[in-house]
Structure 1
Amino acid sequence: MGVYRIGEQEIEYTLRRSPKAKKASLSVTPQSFELLVPENATEAQINAVLDRRRGWLIVSLQHMRERAQAQTRIYRFVSGTKIPYRGRMTKLTVEPFEGSLVEVSFRNGFHIRKPSSLSPASSDAAIESALRLWLKKRVREDAYTFVRKHGERHGLKPTGIQIKDQKHMWGSCGQDRQINLNWHLIFAPKPVLEYAVVHELCHLKHRNHDPEFWELVGRVLPDWESRKAWLDKNEHMLGWERVETVM
């Protein structure tokens, strides 16, 4: 992780070195940006690239802040509250019951059963925690489905899949051939999640975003560009911000 200063602001960025990269390239991620450089790039060369793209960075970071401000805000997890799910705003129905744990199910909306003994303050935290766990399980199930669908026939076999709360990227592919996915992808339509999985699968063969990489993505998903475009345009939808209220 690197840090670049613009005035009084310190901006964290991901620095990736690649033996295949012929020149430096910058790309915006949900909350930060990534700099890809040749393997032997010096610190002076890296700083020179950042200085040249200073104006672009300022505009891009402002754009990301505006997107963050547009994120769904949740004040209470009660009946009628809506959260994003698979590209749509989906309503919660919450009802008390005599059990001891929050239960989550989905049928034309989220149905939440919460212990009647929970206070309003602890109820919100418990429902949010149960929803996160349920959503992360859905991401994992979908991801394994897409790996089975595309991986074997294209010779792309990861060692495993990890679902993470990644701040700066939608996914990554480690040197150990393990795929990591941001659980917030569950808020996108299924075809967009499929694109994210395929994107990381293709990194098993091509570690950077060279033309051969995108050619492979296109062989697996011919319409990948429209799926990526949706992700780029609607990233602010992929999650919620919990706003604490005074009880």
Structure 2
Amino acid sequence: MPLPASPEPTHRIVIAGLAVAYHLKRSQRRTIGLAIDHRGLRVGAPLRARQGDIEALIHQHGQWVLDKLAAWRDRPPPGKLMVTDGTVISVVGAPLTVALVPASRARWQLAGDRVELSPSPSTDANQLLEKALREKARQLFAERLAHYAPQLGVPPPPLRLSSARTRWGSCSHRGGIALNWRLIFMPLALIDYVVNHELAHLKEMNHSPRFWSVVEQLCPDWRARRLELRQLGRTIPTI
């Protein structure tokens, strides 16, 4: 299976003493624009815009940026997702459309950018969607562990899916790694950050400076990714 396309580059800037991650997208536009949504600060810039000019504009609107980010952060978490025909959710940074398909028994099938669900009296659409996303998560997480483990000189560890409410991942003293299946709602760059974080524990079972130096080998911009993970964590729907 080909890997998803690389995400937009993530940068980091300090505004009034607070670290803020932002995504920068360059295109054939004429001006620099700022936008804030559930993903955080997003900056659009001309192809040849200087980085210094981009960050000067961010600082110029610094208080607006902080206020808008705080407003998104303080919003109540989303309620239970009502899964109906045509529901669209974000999975690994791309839209996934739900299609309800009649069938003689409960079943689900992932097909490109849509997931087909066939509920039954005993298994509703929400339950089927969770099963489909868990399977997608298992396959993707195993693939990412196999991709990064050799870079640390370790074999791909045993994988277990977690449903923890407060942790994205964990690493046992026996070398097994548990990853929260809800990470499937995150962009690939943030999934990779958690994967790299847990793999680093195979080298350093702590959070010492040595540990973070291992993380940095695999993920040089881990600080920005960690910040974005915190920002996006509150937007994950409940199925």
TM score, norm. by length of structure 2? 0.62
Does residue 109 (structure 1) correspond to residue 114 (structure 2)? The answer is: yes
144-153 or 83-92: which moved more?
83-92
Residue in structure 2 matched with residue 73 of structure 1 by the alignment? 80
Q: Is the 8 A contact 1:92 1:109 kept in 2?
A: yes
Q: Supply the distance in 1 between the matched residues of 2:207 and 2:235 (Cα, whole angstroms).
A: 25
For 1:73, give the aligned amino acid: K
Q: CA RMSD in A?
A: 2.4
Equivalence for 1:231: 229
- Residues 171 and 201 in structure 2, CA contact (< 8 A), matched pair in contact too: yes
The answer on whether the counterparts of 2:162 and 2:179 sit within 8 Å (CA) in structure 1 is yes
Q: 1:156 touches 1:202 (CA, 8 Å); kept in 2? A: no
Closer/same/farther in 2, CA of residues 153 and 221 from structure 1, 3 Å limit: same
- Following superposition of structure 1 onto structure 2, how do residues 172-183 of structure 1 map, counting pairs within 5 Å? 172-183=170-181
Q: Which moved more, 1:190-199 or 1:84-93?
A: 84-93
- Alpha-carbon offset, residue 227 of structure 1: 2.2
CA distance in structure 2 between the partners assigned to 1:207 and 1:237 by the alignment:
30
Range with bigger deviation, 103-112 or 133-142: 103-112
User: Which whole-Å CA distance do the structure 2 matches of 1:126 and 1:94 have between them?
Assistant: 11
Quote the offset at 1:91 in angstroms. 3.0
Alignment of 1:70-219 (within 5 A): 70-75=77-82, 77-88=83-94, 90-97=96-103, 99-114=104-119, 118=120, 125-157=123-155, 159-219=157-217
Q: Contact (CA 8 Å) 2:108, 2:128: kept in 1 or not?
A: yes
In the TM superposition, residue 186 of structure 1 has moved relative to its aligned partner by: 0.5
The secondary structure found in structure 2 opposite 1:218 is helix
The Cα shift of 1:66 comes to 4.6
| Residue 200 of structure 1, CA deviation | 0.3
Identity %: 26
- Please give the alpha-carbon distance, in whole angstroms, between the structure 2 residues aligned to 1:96 and 1:152: 44
- Equivalent AA in structure 2 for residue 109 of structure 1: R
- The whole-number CA distance in structure 2 between the counterparts of 1:239 and 1:184 is 9
Cα separation, 1, equivalents of 2:97 and 2:144? 27
Unaligned runs of at least 5 residues, structure 2: 1-70
Code of the residue aligned with 1:111 in structure 2: it is: E
8 Å Cα contact 2:81-2:237 kept in structure 1: no
Compared with structure 1, are the counterparts of its residues 108 and 89 closer, same or farther at alpha carbon in structure 2 (3 Å cutoff)? closer
The 8 Å contact of residues 108 and 132 in structure 2, kept in 1 or not, is answered as: no
Query: Given residue 214 of structure 1, which amino acid in structure 2 is its aligned partner?
Result: W
CA distance in 2, matches of 1:93, 1:72: 21
Inter-partner Cα distance in structure 1 for 2:189 and 2:209:
22
With the length of structure 1 as denominator, give the TM-score of the two structures.
0.60
CA distance in 2, matches of 1:72, 1:218: 35
